[in-house]
């Protein structure tokens, strides 16, 4: 049984799942998913990379409920690593109208740093990277130089692909809908330490 760490690009996965089945699979248990994707391995470290929603109180509440549920379900195994969103003012070139857009910052850098930390520590055999972001390729190459024995496997979210990652790591595969459906958190997650409960948002059902 190999030891596996899992790095999850929350933004990449979220939008892939939404494109595939809307909000149906957003109440996702990342540890359970990792166990289904690597059934022969011991999952020893799961890191979920995300960023706090801006300017949408309802979405922010759903996100916080979900993050609390994840931590309550796997308090000692799952780590949440937060980047940030940055507001950007955009102008329409044809009509001159202004709008605010949001750009996620730091996630790819945080994943790259985590990958290098894991490679340098030599405590796992495999890293499963749930992302199709080709910006991670330089970090993958560096990790391979630091730890040639480390197996790095990209798991592409639905409707997300990276030819560059697949060329670099031919073991890449796409996460199927069945695995996502089988990896949902319970409808109500209870925190064993505090007694708090976190319910799947109605909007996600």
d(CA 4, CA 10): 19
d(CA 121, CA 142): 14
Contacts for 198 with CB less than 8 Å, ≥ 6 apart = 65, 66, 68, 69, 72, 188, 189, 190, 191
pLDDT of 56 > 70? The answer is yes
As a whole number, mean pLDDT of residues 57-64 equals 94
pLDDT, the chain, mean: 91
In order of 43, 61, 174, the CA distances from 14 in angstroms are: 22, 16, 14
pTM of the model: 0.90
pLDDT of 144 > 80? The answer is yes
d(CA 88, CA 91): 10
Return the CA Rg of the chain.
18
pLDDT of 90 > 80? The answer is no
pLDDT of 105 > 80? The answer is no
Q: Is 140 exposed, middle or buried (0-12, 13-18, 19+ CB in 10 A)?
A: buried
**Which of 77-81, 84-88, 130-134 is predicted least confidently?**
84-88
pLDDT of residue 31: 98
pLDDT of residue 107: 87
């Amino acid at each position: 049984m190999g030891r596996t760490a899992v790095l999850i690009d929350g933004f990449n996965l979220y939008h892939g799942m939404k494109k595939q089945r809307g909000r149906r699979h957003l109440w996702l248990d990342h540890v359970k998913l990792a166990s289904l994707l690597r059934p022969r391995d011991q999952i020893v470290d799961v890191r979920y990379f995300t960023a706090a929603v801006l300017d949408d109180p309802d979405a922010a509440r759903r996100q916080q409920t979900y993050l609390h549920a994840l931590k309550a379900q796997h308090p000692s195994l799952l780590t949440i690593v937060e980047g940030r969103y940055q507001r950007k003012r955009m102008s329409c070139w044809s009509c001159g109208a202004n709008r605010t857009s949001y750009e996620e910052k730091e996630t790819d850098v945080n994943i790259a740093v985590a990958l290098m930390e894991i490679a340098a520590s030599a405590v796992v055999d495999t890293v499963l990277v749930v992302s199709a972001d080709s910006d991670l390729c330089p970090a993958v190459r560096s990790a391979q130089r630091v730890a040639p024995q480390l197996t790095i496997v990209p798991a592409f979210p639905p409707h997300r692909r990276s030819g560059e990652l697949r060329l670099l790591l031919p073991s890449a595969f796409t996460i199927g809908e069945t695995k996502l459906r089988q990896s949902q958190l319970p409808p109500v997650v209870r925190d064993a330490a505090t007694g708090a409960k976190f319910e799947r948002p109605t909007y996600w059902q």
